[in-house]
Amino acid sequence: MNGGDEVVAAPGGPPLALDWKFSQVFGERTAGEEVQEVDIISAIEFDKTGDHLATGDRGGRVVLFERTDTKEHGGSRRDLERMDYSINRHPEFRYKTEFQSHEPEFDYLKSLEIEEKINKIRWCQTANGALFLLSTNDKTIKFWKVQEKKVKKISEMNVDPSKTVGIGNVASSSNLSSPKTHLANGGCSSFSSLSNDISFPPEGYPSLRLPQVVTSHETSLVARCRRVYAHAHDYHINSISNNSDGETFISADDLRINLWNLEISNQSFNIVDVKPANMEDLTEVITSAEFHPTHCNTLAYSSSRGSIRLIDLRQSALCDSHAKLFEEQEAPGARSFFTEIIASISDIKFAKDGRYILSRDYMTLKLWDINMDSGPVTTFQVHEYLRPKLCDLYENDSIFDKFECCLSGDGLRVATGSYSNLFRVFGCGTGSTETTTLEASKNPMRRQVQTPSRPSRSLSSSITRVVRRGAESPGVDANGNCFDFTTKLLHLAWHPTENSIACAAANSLYMYYA
């Protein structure tokens, strides 16, 4: 099995389960090392090519990584495949650069502290060898340009030695503090601090070389903030998403979604507003929003009541009415105090082809077909063993944790995080029963639990729905260890073209391949 290559079963059968292996870790903690709050990773994003990876942390920093295993052979992976070059190495990344994206602020009008934590990062289209990306904290979005620039240096600052007589170190004269009389062309009548054997002709030195700025062959990466999109959200920004037109993007907070042009930072258009006239009538908030990957007029947003709305920007300027509504009907008699809390969707992602939407609520992953709004295509139980512990999770606020989700580039698998630094990978292809539990550590299969095969519903079929469960255990893992609700894997991203996953465990970035 080659790094990043698909594992293919016999013709007509489902793809085999992937064999995940540890690839790299950045920022690994030593045993007993205390994690600083500002170092905890809060956002992860691959660019469209998969050659660059960006992470944001609670300290407002953005760290960029670049892929190295293809560069060593010269050219992109696609070029190497055209040349029939055998790639037997797994994806490898190296640290590229980092910059301070956001600083802590204070809103004096509202007496509100605005923390510097990076909520989301989105890559934009590259141009002229420069990288562009959007980053946001709770209130302010910034557009960054990262580019290699040649280092400029100062050339030699000295007098031509062939034309001088016993001048010594002229540079030391810059430190003189005694009064002196200046003559034409740099001549000077007296230098009390210089030794008596140094003489300066009254006409000065015609061969004095002035300092020049020269461009060297060395390069350095420079991150420059091109634009700041501020003062457009009264509530905390939870999502930003680029449009496929390459010109616009959206930003979403709890009650509104705004449409921006990348070139215009002082104006945005409000396209969704769910704020009621009386805030006491508020029943749901926006939790996530994303543009369709290919249709520039279509976007989806999720709510705290477990619904997803698909809207069409061509219908009206203010898209308060949706084109489609996706929600699952509640089972009769299943309602409890926690029903609405755990139904809240924390993240949605479009599949690469735009046909499916993946959503994550507290207990499950759900895959939706945008052509079928009667219910999800497939439901994956992420940690069903927590259901008896919902009361404890509510008391320690863990029930409000917002887990992200991601899809593979081929759309055959989905992944999301859980507690104890575990994450789950589910197969969603035709006939697939793949369910894998991995730990964010150098030995990802340490807590692997074998699960009985369960029937899976084909993506191409739309007759029935199926619920898939992972390994279920009453609060303990395969080794009998109690699950740790303080270590949670909230953020992860799937490489756009290969079976490679990057995930964040506190301040450490782990990467795996299959």
State residue 481's pLDDT score: 47
Provide the pLDDT for residue 176.
40
pLDDT for residue 76: 56
What confidence category does residue 171 fall into, taking pLDDT thresholds of 50, 70 and 90? very low
Q: Kindly report which listed range (1-15, 144-158, 264-278) carries the lowest average pLDDT score.
A: 1-15
C-beta neighbour count of 274 within 10 angstroms: 17
pLDDT value at position 206?
A: 61
Instruction: Read off the DSSP letter of residue 210.
Output: P
Query: Is it the case that residue 22 has pLDDT exceeding 80?
Result: yes
Choose the weakest-confidence range: 21-25, 78-82, 226-230, 357-361: 78-82
3-state helix, strand, coil in the chain (%, to 5): 10, 35, 55
Confidence (pLDDT) at 168: 44
- For residue 225, the Cα-to-chain-centroid distance in whole angstroms is 17
Overall size of the chain counted in residues: 514
Chain-wide mean pLDDT for the chain?
A: 82
User: 179-193: per-residue pLDDT in tens?
Assistant: 444 444 444 544 444
H/E stretch holding 341: helix 339-343
Condensed to tens digits (0 to 9), the pLDDT of residues 36-77 reads: 999 999 999 999 999 999 999 999 999 999 999 875 555 555
Amino acid 139: pLDDT: 94
How would residue 367 be classed by pLDDT, with cut points 50, 70 and 90? very high
User: Which residues are CB-contacts of 442 (< 8 A; sequence separation ≥ 6)?
Assistant: 22, 25
pLDDT reported for residue 443: 84
Name the band, by pLDDT with cuts 50, 70 and 90, for residue 83.
low
Q: pLDDT of 89-145, one tens digit each?
A: 678 999 999 999 999 998 888 888 999 999 999 999 998 889 999 999 999 999 999
Q: What percent of the chain has pLDDT over 90?
A: 59
Predicted local distance difference test score (pLDDT) of residue 34 = 86
Q: Does 452 have pLDDT greater than 50?
A: no
